[in-house]
Chains A and B, each alone.
Chain A
Amino acid sequence: MVGIRMEKPWLDLSAEAIDALPAQLGVYQIADGQDEVVKIGYAGGLEQFGIRTALHRELEAGGTRFRTELTHGYLTRWEELLMVHLHDHGELPAGNSTHNQKLGRLRIDGAGPEQKNEASTKGAN
């Protein structure tokens, strides 16, 4: 069974760190200086060099810390991580605030806080 939360240690986001990664598909989290998740993203089949391309974009956007998980099921895992974040924090990370597809509700281990993010619980699919 895949662990529900991403719990790997954070790494500093730098061009060198990114280029050391395999050019695979997967999901990632970006954190701020306090290791608070500010964005959950994925590197899908359209990225030229998989997770490297996606993380270089995050570096340019000012991301400072990151962690990754390589997976072919990147879309499901990405959605799962968004749901888990919503469950744990009651809202999506700032970098995902424009997410416009309906997200599911998980009750992982006892009650989570009220979900505040309206955009994330309404949607078009």
Chain B
Amino acid sequence: MDLSLSDEQQMIVETVRRFVAEEIVPLEASLDPDAGALAPDDFERLVKMTKEMGFYGLDIPEEFGGPGLDTTTRALMAIEMSQHRAGLYNPCYGTFGGAGLAQLYEATEEQKEKYLYPTLRGEKKGCFALTEPSGGSDPARAIQTRGHEDGDQWILNGSKLYISGADKADFALVFARTSDDPGRNGVTAFLVDTDTPGFNVRRVVHTLRSTHYATEISFDEMRVSKDQILGELNRGFAIANDRLSRQRIPYAAGCLGAAIKAQEMAIEWAKSRETFGGALAEKQAVQWMIVDNEIDIRHARYCILEAAQRADKGERFRTEAAMAKLVASEASGRVVDRAMQIHGGLGMTKDLPLERWYRELRIRRVGEGPSEVQRLIMAREILGGSFK
């Protein structure tokens, strides 16, 4: 595999790196260490800059007005964009814009007018409501939210857990069981306005993540019309699978960015901090931590770029995307942990971003499908269909 960057990719990487170093990191110095948003004026100013750079709406497909980046370039950018304190869950504080939920691109034209285009213009926000108290790893079997047909409407009852941003969203993509099939062929996806009577955000769920908290929502006799079904009835899981696999690649790349920055910090500190008459960097135990970090970083980078390159070539990349997500989230957690160890007491404090990355990277091993589920995806492909 060729890991070298094209001239264009090199230029893009350097541009994003400069943006993070010169625009994001200085602002972050005066924000609370757990902050999740910039001051509105700063946000507007930086959005203007990313628009001028031609990078706004990175994940929007070209036919919808996005910059039309390939997956590899997008992954390289994600590695750079997360190299600051809030970078894991708020890369560059959202100043590169969002693309909305992947499934919206499969919507009808009418649904796109109502949800997708306003999202791309920054006027509406959506949330993704799949996980339930009964489980998220295997949602096809776990979903208990039930839809009952009533004339030209569906009535939904049930609840969802750990849903990020439901309290601020304008609409939600809600998955509900709409037939007696106990598996994936009985689930339908609905686009629901969050001001629909019966859509109730019941509580904030406090997690290790200090920004973008999760919520619990309930649907109480919530009526939605049939034209709010996204895709086909009972085929809710068949929507946008390719796009969803593709999204795992920048997700993995975001983990790696934090690890790269943590390693840079660990090296700098190991060279300057002295104990027992010499620099930490002279101690073999510390050298090994730095080397183990490098192995983890290079392993993750390889898996991410392999998945991205296969996706760009139009080859199957489901296993590679799962591997990239698993390796990058786990390896980056280890890198940050070692970097904290090398920093001693300082590594535990909010004076450095390490403790925030440590908490947030822990979530990355569960969010978007736990490591075990990524292994399951890979095992199915490696072993073949009969071992599902």
- How many pairs of residues, A versus B, come closer than 8 Å at their CB atoms? 71
Q: Is the CB of B43 within 8 A of A44?
A: no
B111 contacts partner chain A, Cβ-Cβ < 8 Å: no
Contact segment of A14-22, A28-36, A101-109: A101-109
B22 contacts partner chain A, Cβ-Cβ < 8 Å: no
Q: Does B346 contact A (CB under 8 A)?
A: no
Instruction: Flag if A124 contacts B44 (CB, 8 Å).
Output: yes
In the complex, whether B380 has a CB less than 8 A from a CB of chain A is no
Whether a CB of chain A sits under 8 angstroms from the CB of B158 is no
Q: Determine the distance from Cα of A72 to Cα of B358 in the docked complex, in whole angstroms.
A: 14
Residue B206 at the A interface, CB < 8 A?
A: yes
For B202, what are the chain A residues with a Cβ–Cβ distance below 8 Å?
106-108
Interface residue A66 (Cβ < 8 Å from any Cβ of B):
no
The size class of the interface chain B forms with chain A is 20 to 34
CA distance A107 to B204 in the complex (A): 11
Does A2 belong to the interface (CB within 8 Å)?
Answer: yes
- Please state if B215 and A104 are interface contacts (CB–CB under 8 Å): yes
Q: Could you tell me the distance between the alpha carbons of A77 and B94 in the complex, rounded to whole angstroms?
A: 22
Contact A75 B40, beta carbon cutoff 8 Å: no
Q: CB distance A45 to B167 under 8 Å?
A: no
User: Smallest CB–CB gap between B222 and chain A, Å?
Assistant: 12
Minimum C-beta distance from A47 to chain B (A): 9
Query: What is the CA–CA distance of A108 and B216 in the complex, to the nearest angstrom?
Result: 10
Nearest residue, chain A, Cβ from B211: A75
Q: How far is the CB of B157 from chain A (nearest CB, A)?
A: 15
- Do A104 and B36 touch (CB < 8 A)? no
Q: Which of A2, A107, A124 contacts B40 (CB 8 A)?
A: A124
Interface residues of A (CB under 8 A from B): 1-2, 4, 44-46, 72-77, 79-80, 83, 100-108, 123-125
10 A–B contacts, CB within 8 A, in A order: A44-B34, A45-B33, A76-B211, A80-B213, A83-B167, A83-B204, A104-B165, A104-B204, A105-B194, A108-B203
Interface set of B (CB-CB < 8 Å, partner A): 32-37, 40, 43-44, 94, 165-168, 194, 200-204, 206, 210-211, 213, 215, 350
Q: Which 4 pairs show the lowest CB-CB distances between chains A and B? A: A104-B167, A124-B40, A45-B33, A45-B350
